[in-house]
Structure 1
Amino acid sequence: MASVLNHGGRALAFARERNLDYRDVLDFSANINPLGPSPKAIAALQESLDTIAVYPEEMPTRFVRCLSNELGAPADHILTGNGATELIYFWLRTTRPQSATLIVPAFMEYRRALESAGAAVTVTALRPEDHFRLPIIQPVSDVVILTNPNNPTGAYVPPEPLLDWLGQISGSTQILLDEAFIEFTGQPSMVRYIGKFPNLWVLRSMTKFYAIPGLRLGYLVGEGVPSLTQSREPWQVNNLAEIAGIASLADRSYQEATLQLVQRERIWLWKQLQGLAHVRGFPTAANFFFARCDTHRMLDELIAALAEQHILIRDCRGIEGVDGSCGSCFRFAIKKREENMRLLNYLRRI
């Protein structure tokens, strides 16, 4: 039986272990929109609860049409799933690469999914001393996996250098580009370059920006999607997830308010981090910060002190590629000002 990886977003388990209401836990370990779900999505869900007694469509055609209009991509190039993680496993299980290059640090499920698919994994590390610049990929692998913005570092590669990098990779190599946090950057998706790079697959999540992790909804875009659909299991997206997804995509005022809040707090938090004695923050384009304590002991004490106050951060020491100069690192989400100030008060005490 596969072991359970230590992910962030453990507010429910933390609350249960301590006999707390989960709403009393301040969870900086999960990188979720600080505004919560879209009001339009909440209203749509409340009006549609009776659909739990009805089978969903085998494929969520209404949601796919909305995504097609939103992305400017053909509907048959879009594959939806029960969250981005489910799609990672499905894509690798279906394509079955013999070799893979994983650019780390990265989401911890990638290595497990690759190994489950039987791929020999080579890791290439992004280093803070190199400003997390993209590496040259050699030798050629069947698959290359890159996250942009990176999780957990928040480092972002703009379109121009990313296009140059994509152009250096062999056309026989499939490239999985994880854009789970791209909306928080305010920059466009690389989906628009799918036609230029037939070997490019773009993975997107509705979880983070639209704050619906409990519903599990994600999608994959690529010219090769039609070849995958015949192997796809039905009913991967439930009725409520589809309804929330459609309503969220339509809520423009919510999207604008989210970008404004995250950008404002990101700038403010970055300035505050510069004044800390024993914590160094790294620049970010996402809705979270990657930071390093001077010592492992300091990080241990910080995590323990925060837990006593029912505050969670993400200990990154178990993430592949987080070592050396990033050894005692952690990640925390950007939230509203009052919540950010609570966390900063503890960071200042180190």
Structure 2
Amino acid sequence: MINAAHGGNDLGLDVRLDLSANLNPMGMPESVRAAALASADCWERYPDPLCRELRKKLSEKTGADMENIVCGNGADDLIYRAASALKPHSALICAPTFGEYGKALRENGCKVREHILRESEDFALTERILGELSGADMAVICTPNNPTGMTVPPELMAEIAAECEKNGTYLLVDESFIGFTGREKELTALNCMGSHVIVLRSFTKIFAMAGLRLGYAVCGSADTSGKLAAAGQYWSVSAPAQAAGIAALGEEDYVRKTVEFIAEERDCLSRELTALGVRVYPSETDYILFRSIPQLGEKLLGDGILIRSCGDYSGLDGSFFRTAVGLHEDNEALICAVRRCLDG
């Protein structure tokens, strides 16, 4: 076994290049790092459990009422809060998608059904899902989806939200990677908010804040946000994470440069992998799903490069892999290594 349940070198493997975790290759903005360090004077006190200043800034950014926003220890924390607080009896999730949705729901006694994304459709979410929403207490949509990198068209998202609202179904939309698309305002489910919609966002990916841990949920009602807030631990967001988040919200130029960089490098990486005979699936974010020989992950690890094997994703097998879009030299190193592995 060459990787843990998620991307990132959690097992302490001897690697020279880790492309298994989908973090911004440009690194944490200096203003964010400085803000976290400058908060040291208050580390001896408990952090604000309500994240009031951060939530005020998020309200200004999203246009949502401050009382409808809940901050957490990463988006992952808020996934578990939603499952615990709302306690759906039945839920619909996609496959393949991020494994923590099903895990969190099942741990709270929920019966989980899967909507299968088809390889013949490049794993895109289509209108087929509309016929499967009935009977679910919660539906979970990830856009861009992990590990496929595909977004949900705004028109389809609006239809899904309307159907969920009609049925009284909670719609949990994870937008942790939407900042990389450059189309956040067009694609976001915030455009079709109803009382049962919950939109998750993460600072972890776009601002490379994996060690600080920060995410937030925008809920369609104060009642829902109150339930999520009550379900989590009281001091869920540390003082440095709150300070870093406030600083990150002002980094619009950094996000713009990231979007441009990722788009260029993603297209180049996709072309190069395709030229090697690898089946590459379309992506709109900072990672690529592709298909190759099942031994590729082990061979690359032997070369000191770690990518994400996707065999543990429902609907995929050991021939599927996900790689982050890295710096140009890192992407070139990956291409050279894949070429050696396939030639050998």
TM-score in terms of structure 2 length: 0.90
Query: What's the counterpart of residue 200 of structure 1?
Result: 197
**Backbone CA RMSD of aligned residues:** 1.8
Query: What's the counterpart of residue 315 of structure 1?
Result: 309
Structure 1 contact 171–199 (Cα < 8 Å) conserved: no
Aligned AA for 2:78? L
SS in 1 for 2:275: coil
- Tell me the CA shift for residue 328 of structure 1: 1.1
SS in 1 for 2:261: helix
Matches within 5 A, 1:1-350: 6-10=5-9, 12-15=10-13, 18=14, 25-131=16-122, 132-134=124-126, 135-138=129-132, 139-169=134-164, 170-187=166-183, 188=185, 189-194=188-193, 197-222=194-219, 223=221, 224-277=224-277, 279-293=278-292, 298-300=293-295, 302-323=296-317, 328-349=319-340, 350=342
What CA deviation, in whole Å up to 9, does each residue of 1:131-171 have, x standing for no partner?
32332342421111110111001111121222123333343
- Tell me the CA shift for residue 5 of structure 1: 6.2
Q: Which runs of 5+ in 2 are unaligned?
A: none
Q: Which runs of 5+ in 1 are unaligned?
A: 19-23
Aligned AA for 2:141? L
Aligned AA for 2:289? F
Aligned AA for 2:236? Q
Q: Identity percentage over the alignment?
A: 35
- Tell me the CA shift for residue 232 of structure 1: 4.3
**Separation of aligned partners in 1, 2:176 and 2:105:** 19
Aligned AA for 1:340? N
Query: What's the counterpart of residue 21 of structure 1?
Result: none
SS in 2 for 1:272: helix
Aligned AA for 1:133? L
Structure 1 contact 215–240 (Cα < 8 Å) conserved: yes
**Separation of aligned partners in 1, 2:4 and 2:80:** 15
**Separation of aligned partners in 2, 1:271 and 1:322:** 22
TM-score in terms of structure 1 length: 0.89
What CA deviation, in whole Å up to 9, does each residue of 1:320-348 have, x standing for no partner?
1224xxx5100000011111000011222
- Tell me the CA shift for residue 227 of structure 1: 4.2
User: For this pair of structures, how many residues does the alignment match?
Assistant: 328
Structure 2 contact 143–150 (Cα < 8 Å) conserved: yes
SS in 2 for 1:141: coil
